[in-house]
Amino acid sequence: MPGLGVALSHCTVRLGRKVVLDEVSLALRPGEKWLLVGPNGAGKTQLIKLLAGLRWPTPTGRERRTYADHRGRVVELVDARERVVYVGAESQDKYARYGWNHTLEQVVATGLFGTDIPLDEPDLVQRRQVRTLLERFALTEVRGRRMLEASYGQRRLALVARALAARPGLLLLDEVYNGLDDGHRRRLTRALAGLSRTRVTVLASAHRPEDVPPGVERAAVVEQGRVRVLPWRTALRRLRRAAAPASAVPDRQAACRRRRGIQPFIELRDVWVYREETPALRGLDWVLEDGEHWAITGRNGSGKSTLLGLLYGSWPPALGSRVFRRGHPPGTSLQEIRAAIGIVSPELQAAYEAGATLEEIVVSGLRDSVGLDSPPTRRERRLAAEALALVDLGPLADRRPREVSYGELRLALLARAFVKKPELLLLDEPFTGLDPGRRRRLRAALSRLAKAGTRLVIVVHHRGDLPHEVNRRLHLRRGRAGRLPV
């Protein structure tokens, strides 16, 4: 597929009272491969949406957006949209938001027809194309799994495969490596390396140097709504300088002491959990003691998110499984159990698409709800302000999800989990989508919570993101457990 170019001239985007992009001018010529960098809230995702034709520039009388083919001929927006594909966290979240629960094979096939949901039946040749893409991304064995039952990484790869099925002229990737294990990252890198030898125009945003796709030759940085072109090697150096150092080796002797005579905080014995009649956890034995903070690792689909859901009460254990919670005898209500637990997950973030302010999102954590049925009290607003300040979002308290970046919304959900000072904090890839500075500040906030007595259980692919206090690691393989060094 020949590449499609796009040029922006003096484009401004306002969301509410905030100027997200300010007089942006940027030209992507057909076939070029671009890297986009910048901190959370700078405007990267909005710039990508503007390039994709998904966001209209605010009328100023000077704005212009033009698409052109490889021969320089102007392409109208209605025709260009058929050749532009955008893949990012927001495009993935809409499947949960709208309940689109088709199989991964069906999702990939929709790329052939340019639809979000299956409306057409692929013919024999098209089915072979889909099977080839599924094989390329190691999704063949799970092709019949439904989108909302697949792991976060499997969903992400299915959407990339869907994008390639569409044979785009312009491919826009918004932090596409987020949530992928090492094996899936390698497969994605090989696929993008193949694109680097084509005429497809590609722009990819990244916060980590290892997330820069192969073949990049141009780069731009977004800072405070302004866009500046810079050499791609300079952009890569910026990412490397900003990358946080790896966590120090923790003091296991102090953190792992066992207090005799005291029941573990949580104990799992021979626990099985089924999702759509398929075992996601298989005979799991696991104990959370006082003084322990756990990293949960494993490949996409290994059962990490299911384990957090089990601990939170979202996924019930199968008959015969034994789950012991200190202070909560059998028959304790789910509401009482959750009162001491904070959680952050991609599914929770998808639920907050619009409506509530960041302050109201945080207050909902005090009520263990999604949304509020009454205005926040004075005490709730004070506690919400303290939690937002902990993640440096105090000035954004009255903003709504569509008026902040994806990373800033993730931080607001973390503040929602922090606000009730939980005894147990369950975090599913909390560092995903955060720039290096935000990752450092979040790591410091988690350290303070751990020192104050909150137990941490963190699903993570980048172990260097972990706070020093994490002193245990559970590695899952197809729902079974193995303990490894942190």
Model confidence, pTM: 0.78
Q: Give residue 250's pLDDT.
A: 42
CA distances from 232 to 117, 166, 192, 237 (A): 37, 28, 17, 9
Return the closest-CA partner of residue 88 out of 301, 350, 416, 309: 350
Residue 39: exposure state from Cβ atoms within 10 A (0-12, 13-18, ≥19):
buried
Question: Which domains does the chain show, CATH number per domain?
Answer: 5-242 (3.40.50.300), 252-257+264-483 (3.40.50.300)
- Any idea what DSSP says for residue 141? G
Q: Give residue 256's pLDDT.
A: 44
**Is residue 93 within 8 Å of residue 354, measured between CB atoms?**
no
Residue 7: exposure state from Cβ atoms within 10 A (0-12, 13-18, ≥19):
middle
Return the closest-CA partner of residue 415 out of 436, 392, 438: 392
Collapsing DSSP to helix, strand or coil, 483 comes out as: strand
Task: Name the strands in the sheet holding 480-483, side by side, starting at the edge strand that comes first in the sequence.
Answer: 341-344, 424-428, 455-459, 294-298, 472-477, 480-483
Handedness of CA 39, 172, 396, 384 (dihedral sign): negative
**Is residue 291 within 8 Å of residue 257, measured between CB atoms?**
yes
Taking the alpha carbons at both ends of the chain, their separation in whole angstroms is 45
Query: 128-164 burial, b if ≥16 CB within 10 A, otherwise e?
Result: ebbbebbebbbbeebbebbbbbbbbbbbbbbbbbbbb
Handedness of CA 99, 103, 105, 106 (dihedral sign): negative
Q: Give residue 354's pLDDT.
A: 64
Q: What tens-digit pLDDT sequence spans the chain (486 residues)?
A: 689 999 999 999 998 888 999 999 999 999 999 999 999 889 999 999 999 999 999 999 999 999 999 999 999 999 999 999 999 988 888 898 888 999 999 999 999 999 999 999 999 999 999 999 999 999 999 999 999 988 888 999 999 999 999 999 999 999 999 888 888 899 899 888 988 889 999 999 999 999 999 999 999 999 989 999 999 889 998 888 876 454 444 444 434 444 455 789 999 999 999 987 889 999 999 999 999 999 999 998 899 999 999 999 989 999 889 999 998 888 888 889 988 999 998 877 777 766 789 999 999 999 888 888 899 999 999 999 999 999 999 999 999 888 888 889 989 999 999 999 999 999 999 998 888 988 998 999 999 999 999 999 999 988 889 999 999 999 999 899 875 666
Residues ≥6 apart with Cβ < 8 Å to 80: 4, 6, 53, 67, 170
**Is residue 255 within 8 Å of residue 473, measured between CB atoms?**
no
Q: What is the Cα–Cα distance from 457 to 449, expressed in whole angstroms?
A: 12
Q: Give residue 262's pLDDT.
A: 73
Residues ≥6 apart with Cβ < 8 Å to 26: 7, 8, 47, 51, 220, 227, 229
- Any idea what DSSP says for residue 149? G
Count Cβ atoms below 10 Å from residue 336 Cβ, excluding itself: 10
Q: What is the Cα–Cα distance from 180 to 433, expressed in whole angstroms?
A: 12
Chain-centre distance for alpha carbon 325? 30
Q: What is the CA radius of gyration of the chain?
A: 23
Q: What is the DSSP string of 339-403?
A: TTEEEE-HHHHHH-SSSS-HHHHHHHHHHTSSS-SSPPPHHHHHHHHHHHHHTT-GGGTT--GGG
Residue 125: exposure state from Cβ atoms within 10 A (0-12, 13-18, ≥19):
exposed
**Bridge partners of 222?**
227
| DSSP 3-state percent helix, strand, coil across the chain (nearest 5) | 40, 25, 40
Q: What is the Cα–Cα distance from 280 to 293, expressed in whole angstroms?
A: 23
